[in-house]
Amino acid sequence: MSFPYLTTIIFLPVAGAILIAFVPGLQDRVIRRIAAIFTFVPLALSIFLFAIFDKSAGAVGVFQFEEMVSWIPAINAHYHLGVDGLSLPLVVLMTFLGFLVVLISWKINLRVREYFAWLLLLETSILGVFCSLDLLLFFVFWEIEVIPMYFLISIWGSGRKEYSAIKYVVYTLFGSAMMLAGILSLYFTTGSLSMVELAQGGLAMIQSIMPATPIFFLLLIGFAVKLPVVPLHTWLPDAHTDAPTAGSVVLAGALIKMGGYGMIRVCVSIFPQVAHQYAPLLVAFAVISVLYGAAVTLRQTDLKRLIAYSSISHMGYVLLGVFALSQVSLTGAALQMFSHGLITGLLFAMAGLVMHNAEERDLRQLGGLARQMPIIAVVFSIAGLGSLGLPTTSGFAAEFITFVGCFSSTAVAGIRVYTILAVFGIVITAGYILWMLQRVFFGPVLEKFNRVKDADNLEKGYMFAFVAVIMLVGIYPAILTDVIKLGILPIMGLLGG
């Protein structure tokens, strides 16, 4: 057996968390460095895997770097890991964000030991979701994530942090209960927990106890809560608004991507016929999410809440791309998840800096900050322009591919009307992003912000890392689409496309 790369990538952060939590007498400075080392190594390893990933035609539909050990023989459950073109970019995204949020959290002084331990456990759970090929293992990792997120919001958050943390847990557990019911139904009807077997066997395996449609919707509701799809979205603005900056970056950057990933990997792959049947309904929900999210964003006066609602709108594009069910739209949806993770992660990081340095987050009280914090203003503007899909940013590449794929799809009746409606979301996005930048950074300089500081060297470092990757994917999207395509082609085979 070759070196267990995926196990190493997944469990290094939790090893760091155990070290931080249980070694007595560690100074805060040492804790931060341990956290940085135990997140940097998985990042380096995931980039290495991305570099050696087999992109040849023979690799279509093949899971690479697989690891499989019998786990609970009585129910045929395995510790089964592997990545393909769909999951590998998300693993790279999470390790990238995992390292940067440690740098973003460098100035945290409250209960430092616990903070970094929870942050590293959160990274392990999300990476586990993206690498699992066994439904039970997938569900275990899916559930672990709730605990660190609850503590990060309720202890290090702001505002109504306890309320937001509990609301997050309630919604997540509701979605998880539905998902568990779906996984159990699938297991009782097929006798298998292997995602690979289930996708290849298709509905032929589902004969007895329960028809496929209810199982599909049980699983879909679990993923829709996480994505989140309107009307299951109300936990997201509260969780984002009251979470600490690093919590918001992980939440927007990688955690909600678990929903979109689950829809493609489980719902569409295992239930292609049901996905076809209900695609028009789900595409309609996608358009509602895009337009409702964008319209509500226009009404926000809190900086973080505005970015949170914009996430709901942008994840609507992912749902649209997934259920347009064409190869190009699914590729666009996967690219949109990666791109949104970078852009919104950067937006939240910048919002955190503005709030920390200016000690103000109400858009009505801010203004003229470009003179005091020029570097933050420039990077915030780049992130904002990426969000509204400016060419040469990853946002443009992702949205363009998604819209082209949806418009040309033949799987859903009336898809062109839905696509044109969704494009209006970009127009509204341009409105609220430009309005936000104008309110925060431009206009008359306010005297109360005269002593506000700009970004320090560490902050400049992680900002430019974000910007570099956003521009790289925007200018050369093939670096990702060539890989994503390998994961999407077998799904198109299942869909008969």
Domain boundaries, the chain: 277-497
User: How far is residue 308's CA from residue 172's CA, in Å, rounded to a whole number?
Assistant: 17
Residue 204 confidence (pLDDT) above 70:
no
Instruction: Point out which residues pair with 378 in neighbouring strands.
Output: none
Torsion angles phi and psi, residue 388, rounded to 5: -90, 5
User: How far is residue 134's CA from residue 136's CA, in Å, rounded to a whole number?
Assistant: 6
Instruction: Point out which residues pair with 67 in neighbouring strands.
Output: 81
379-391: pLDDT as tens digits: 999 999 999 899 9
- pLDDT for 190 equals 83
Query: Tokens for 181?
Result: 């019911």
Residue 135 confidence (pLDDT) above 90:
yes
User: How far is residue 407's CA from residue 363's CA, in Å, rounded to a whole number?
Assistant: 37
User: How far is residue 224's CA from residue 241's CA, in Å, rounded to a whole number?
Assistant: 20
Query: Tokens for 135?
Result: 């439904």
User: How far is residue 155's CA from residue 157's CA, in Å, rounded to a whole number?
Assistant: 6
- pLDDT for 167 equals 96
- pLDDT for 234 equals 92
Amino acid at residue number 441: F
User: How far is residue 102's CA from residue 75's CA, in Å, rounded to a whole number?
Assistant: 39
Query: Tokens for 249?
Result: 């970056």
Residue 339 confidence (pLDDT) above 70:
yes
- pLDDT for 61 equals 78
- pLDDT for 493 equals 86
User: How far is residue 184's CA from residue 174's CA, in Å, rounded to a whole number?
Assistant: 16
Share of the chain above pLDDT 90, in %: 75
Question: 201: pLDDT confidence band, cut at 50, 70 and 90?
Answer: confident
Query: Tokens for 125?
Result: 């759970």
CB 482 within 8 A of CB 334: no
Question: Which residues have a Cβ under 8 Å from the Cβ of 81 and sit 6 or more positions away?
Answer: 6, 7, 10, 65, 66, 67, 68, 131, 132, 133
Helix (H, G, I), strand (E, B) or coil at 60: coil
Neighbours of 191 (CB within 10 A): 12
Neighbours of 378 (CB within 10 A): 14
Question: 199: pLDDT confidence band, cut at 50, 70 and 90?
Answer: confident
Residue 206 confidence (pLDDT) above 60:
no
Helix (H, G, I), strand (E, B) or coil at 61: coil
Burial of 163 (0-12, 13-18, 19+ CB in 10 A): middle
- pLDDT for 212 equals 83
Q: What's the mean per-residue pLDDT of the chain? A: 92
- pLDDT for 249 equals 95
Tell me which H or E stretch contains 77. Answer: strand 77-83
Looking at per-residue confidence, does 61 or 4 come out higher?
4
Question: 202: pLDDT confidence band, cut at 50, 70 and 90?
Answer: low
Query: Tokens for 280?
Result: 């028009």
322-335: pLDDT as tens digits: 999 999 999 999 99
Q: For the residues 4-21, what does the mean pLDDT come to?
A: 96
- pTM of the complete model: 0.95
- pLDDT for 313 equals 93
Share of the chain above pLDDT 70, in %: 98
Query: Tokens for 406?
Result: 């949806």
Helix (H, G, I), strand (E, B) or coil at 78: strand
400-450: pLDDT as tens digits: 999 999 999 888 888 999 999 999 989 999 999 999 999 999 888 888 888
Pick from 387, 398, 394: which is nearest to 348 by CA?
387
CB 409 within 8 A of CB 415: yes
Helix (H, G, I), strand (E, B) or coil at 344: helix
- pLDDT for 411 equals 83
CB 477 within 8 A of CB 397: yes
- pLDDT for 497 equals 56
Neighbours of 10 (CB within 10 A): 26
User: How far is residue 171's CA from residue 178's CA, in Å, rounded to a whole number?
Assistant: 11
- pLDDT for 235 equals 93
- pLDDT for 207 equals 52
286-297: pLDDT as tens digits: 999 999 999 999
Residue 1 confidence (pLDDT) above 60:
no
CB 449 within 8 A of CB 369: yes
User: How far is residue 310's CA from residue 247's CA, in Å, rounded to a whole number?
Assistant: 17
Residue 393 confidence (pLDDT) above 70:
yes
- pLDDT for 469 equals 96
For the chain, state the CA radius of gyration.
22
